[in-house]
């Protein structure tokens, strides 16, 4: 991926490029696809807002013949737990309205997936993991399951499954895969950041390598979440808040005697250029993150130049890519697979698992082809 705006920095260059295509265990074939339909971006038909709009439409149609089974509270104010409870414990009509919305959303989601599978970079995709906020609810699980059934009934052989980790954790755990594992040698945890259109998450990710060398048992320890959409901050306020979150986590790690690697992984919306700037796709972030003078990794390295005894290394990639990377250990059975994240928008990325000999070549070992 080339950049027309690559800029020099006063800070030492990171040894790894941001938004990289070839990672240790996968090749990132494509991400942040922005397909259009006559109604706008195709991904907008399978987002959290889209589900709310569909639910509103069902409520409106039913209420024309009587009372709204879900009451007077607006759909955008009905939390996932509330809807799940209405689905399982509410009266028949309330559950029926929600089931109707799930079915219609699944039909839209299936159509979106069909369009993805026609893209050149998505050919031969064998499986898709689905993440984002909706994944953490029973409604989201039913929508994902129904979408899978619709596609299989249409003859499309594709495994669709929810991301295993909680939505607040997947985008942090995936940061482990942004660097070769040898960089993390001798350390038991990393700092990770997941920036979204509504929230900013930061946490200490415990590697737990002794339990599983491929990081399959990695988990988030101490964790902070800031719902920035509620505060509507300026960009500089958001960056400073993130710096404060990270410095607080470093102090927490020191208190807990955690051996932090001198590395911060970041997932962020948009197309990430090799210098760490955002080319496009950051429109939902607080302030203008696409401005040519703004570079988040540089700002963080200026604020946090060292972690422990070493200079800080920061690697940033697209947030959907990073969520998908959290599933790398469980997706080794496939050759080509993708991720879709249902949130403020529909994040997307497609991966190809690297062959064992490719991984060995990167580590400087002899591969079968060299023998």
pLDDT band at 79 (very low <50, low <70, confident <90, very high): confident
Q: Tens digits of per-residue pLDDT, 155-202? A: 999 999 999 999 899 999 999 999 998 889 899 999 999 998 889 999
Higher local confidence (pLDDT), 40 or 231? 231
CA 225/CA 271 separation, integer angstroms: 23
pLDDT band at 37 (very low <50, low <70, confident <90, very high): low
In a domain, 351, yes or no: no
CA 56/CA 63 separation, integer angstroms: 10
Whether residue 363 has pLDDT greater than 60: no
Q: Tens digits of per-residue pLDDT, 250-281? A: 999 999 999 999 999 999 999 999 999 999 88
Higher local confidence (pLDDT), 233 or 187? 187
| Cβ atoms of 174 and 315 closer than 8 Å | no
**Token digits of residue 276:** 């760490």
Q: Is the same domain home to 89 and 201?
A: no
CA 233/CA 239 separation, integer angstroms: 10
Q: Is the same domain home to 237 and 170?
A: yes
The pLDDT value given to residue 4: 40
The pLDDT value given to residue 295: 94
Whether residue 131 has pLDDT greater than 50: yes
Q: Which of 132, 162, 192 is the last residue of a domain?
A: 162
What does pTM read for this prediction? 0.87
Q: Is the same domain home to 96 and 178?
A: no
In a domain, 1, yes or no: no
CA 339/CA 79 separation, integer angstroms: 24
Q: Which of 136, 162, 188 is the last residue of a domain?
A: 162
CA 103/CA 95 separation, integer angstroms: 12
CA 178/CA 175 separation, integer angstroms: 5
Contacts of 54 (CB under 8 A, 6+ apart): 101, 104, 105, 108
**Structural domain of 128:** 36-162
Domain count for the chain, please give it.
Answer: 2
Q: Which of 135, 162, 189 is the last residue of a domain?
A: 162
- What average pLDDT does the segment 343-365 reach? 74
- 139 Rama sector, left if φ>0, alpha if ψ -120 to 50, beta otherwise: alpha
Long-range contacts of 280-283 (CB under 8 A, 24+ apart): 281/32, 281/34, 281/318
The pLDDT value given to residue 358: 58
């Amino acid at each position: 991926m080339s950049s027309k705006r690559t800029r020099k920095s006063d800070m030492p260059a990171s040894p790894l490029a941001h938004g990289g295509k070839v990672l240790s265990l996968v090749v990132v074939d494509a991400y942040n696809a922005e397909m259009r339909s006559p109604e706008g971006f195709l991904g907008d038909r399978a987002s959290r807002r889209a589900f709310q709009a569909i639910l509103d439409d069902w409520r409106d149609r039913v209420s024309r013949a009587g009372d709204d089974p879900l009451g007077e509270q607006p759909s955008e104010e009905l939390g996932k737990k509330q809807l799940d409870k209405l689905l399982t414990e509410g009266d028949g009509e309330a559950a029926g309205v929600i089931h109707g919305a799930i079915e219609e959303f699944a039909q839209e989601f299936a159509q979106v997936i069909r369009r993805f599978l026609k893209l050149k970079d998505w050919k031969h995709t064998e499986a898709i993991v689905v993440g984002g906020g909706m994944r953490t609810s029973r409604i989201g699980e039913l929508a994902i399951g129904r979408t899978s059934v619709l596609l299989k009934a249409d003859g499309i052989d594709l495994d669709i499954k929810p991301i295993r980790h909680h939505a607040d954790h997947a985008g942090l755990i995936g940061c482990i895969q942004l660097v070769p594992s040898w960089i993390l040698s001798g350390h038991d945890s990393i700092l990770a950041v997941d920036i979204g259109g509504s929230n900013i998450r930061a946490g200490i990710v415990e590697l737990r390598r002794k339990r599983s060398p491929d990081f399959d048992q990695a988990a988030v320890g101490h964790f902070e979440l800031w719902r920035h959409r509620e505060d509507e901050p300026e960009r500089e306020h958001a960056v400073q808040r993130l710096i404060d979150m990270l410095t607080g986590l470093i102090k927490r790690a020191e208190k807990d005697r955690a051996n932090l690697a001198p590395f911060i992984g970041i997932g962020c919306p948009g197309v990430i250029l090799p210098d760490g700037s955002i080319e496009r796709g950051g429109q939902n972030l607080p302030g203008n993150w696409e401005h040519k003078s703004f570079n988040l990794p540089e700002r963080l390295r200026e604020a946090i130049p060292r972690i422990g005894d070493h200079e800080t290394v920061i690697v940033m990639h697209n947030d959907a890519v990073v969520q998908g990377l959290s599933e790398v250990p469980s997706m080794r059975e496939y050759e080509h697979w993708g991720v879709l994240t249902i949130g403020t928008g529909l994040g997307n990325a497609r991966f190809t698992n690297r062959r064992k000999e490719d991984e060995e070549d990167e580590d400087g070992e002899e591969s079968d082809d060299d023998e």
